[in-house]
Amino acid sequence: MSHSRVIRPAMLDDAPVILDIFQQCDLFASTGYRQDNINLIDVMDWLESVTDKHPLLVLEEQGIVIAWCSVEAFYGLPAFDTACEISFYVLPNWQGQGIATQLFRHLETHRTELGFTHLIAYVYSSNFNSQGFFKRQGFDEWGLLPNIAQNDSITEDVYLLGRQF
């Protein structure tokens, strides 16, 4: 990892930049649809719900947050406790530079403390970069959710990608 890059737990003060990165990266946020539904209060709620097993991490480059990732519970039943949903968001001008890979390697290194045996990612079918990223990290396609993401102007399939450790 570059000496100018730091991965750390997100803090409440990071909420505005986490929201900004999300809005720049999410297909539905970029159409204006989800911007009305995901706001600063929602991000603050995300931050208040993190635990040692389900962190929200940020990656800073020279003190500026340029990416974040979250590890969330996959399903609410105890049988699924070691399965986690994973999400990565990297500012567009930093994509393709190994930022998400650094975050993923960090999670992989701390897998025992985090307690996951499976990671699951939901990826829009049009997001070829994200699909490629997850496949490079050893994820396989575990399913397709047809036309599940919708708003007034977009209908999108979502791939369910997963990796067992």
Burial of 37 (0-12, 13-18, 19+ CB in 10 A): exposed
Q: Cα separation of 102 and 70, whole Å?
A: 14
Ordered domains of the chain (ranges, CATH): 5-164 (3.40.630.30)
Q: Cα separation of 61 and 64, whole Å?
A: 5
pLDDT for res 36: 55
Question: 138-161, pLDDT tens digit by residue?
Answer: 999 999 999 998 877 789 999 999
Q: Against a cut of 0.85, is the pTM above it? A: yes
